[in-house]
Amino acid sequence: MSQLFQPLRQRDIVLRNRIAISPMCMYSSVDGLPGDWHLVHLGSRAAGGAGVVMTEAAAVCAEGRISPQDAGIWNDAQAVAWAPVARFIAGQGAVPAMQLAHAGRKASTHAPWRGDGAVPLADGGWTVVAPSAEAYADHYPQPLELDADGIARVVADFRAAAARALDAGFQLVELHAAHGYLLHQFLSPLANRRDDAWGGGFEGRTRIVREVVSAVREAWPERLPLWMRISATDWVDGGWDVEQSVELARGVKALGVDLIDVSSGGLDRRQEIATGPGYQVPFAARIRREAGIATGAVGLVTEAAQAERIVATGDADVVLVARQSLRDPYFPMRAAKALGVTPAVPVQYQRAWGD
């Protein structure tokens, strides 16, 4: 019996299988609003049989966008625009999920196909913020260091965004604390040079994450799951590492996080990553084992047997699929067939999926 296609209960929500569509930026929004592209893109992955379909990183404030074309959830108009997307995903039997994010010093940058580095203020860019006044790279924006009031606003923005996600009909939210964005910047000593209550040692550097989790849990119902994505390591000596990730996972579990979505890297351009199929799975396995929390594994998961093995061996509870789902929106249905499971096929498509 396939373990990948066993349901998973998290609080009052049941995932129909262990495949989640990972957040992937589309750089296709105007004023943070999702549009037809998002409905079709995310809706097709829900029709494709995934257990969870997660939006791209939705910025919790305008200055938290990665690019001017990023989606957001910082105002009510955006919540209204997201509602039909969440409704369609749920209607296909998948759990509609939203990732809440703030890009910090990696904000106000170009969409990938428009170039690299900072968007000038004259072209729609903006002033960015970070734990410390150090740019990600020479051609990236120079950030302003957040003061205590600014940190409080960030925490409040995450809380308000969670409330709007709930109003829009999402049943799961994920906090983005990975890939060199704002929360990860606070976590890593390579980006956080502060010597106040939000810097220095582990307790200080992880403080904002704990504050955000607690604030979001105030707005997000107890009956609904809360996930958090982290980079388990910076892949740079002296940076954030898997030992600290385990300790963070223990702490946020006690505050109400239900699953750690385990990625890596993205904070420092000196990173050296030896990639390969499932290269991040050992991090998910270690955090699951040592922190006693459910984990998701992501990164070059492209085959049904590979995904099955990750779950069946207990390395992770969920497999998140990203680029493979761009190549094949129906990867979950194909994986089910390959593993001898009857796929969850919309009635409109069943005539094409019979034996």
DSSP conformation letters of 32-50: TB--HHHHHHHHHHHHTT-
Residue among 136, 140, 181, 330 flagged as catalytic: 181
- Catalytic annotation on 330? no
Measured distance CA(225)–CA(257) in Å, rounded: 7
Measured distance CA(157)–CA(32) in Å, rounded: 15
Eight-state DSSP code of residue 197: T
The percent helix, strand, coil of the chain (3-state, each to 5) is 40, 15, 45
Query: What are 320's strand-pairing partners?
Result: 20, 298
Give the number of other Cβ atoms within 10 Å of residue 5's Cβ: 25
* CA pseudo-torsion sign 46, 23, 109, 167: positive
- The residues, ordered by sequence, that sit 6+ positions from 327 with a Cβ below 8 Å of its Cβ are none
As annotated, the active-site residues are 181
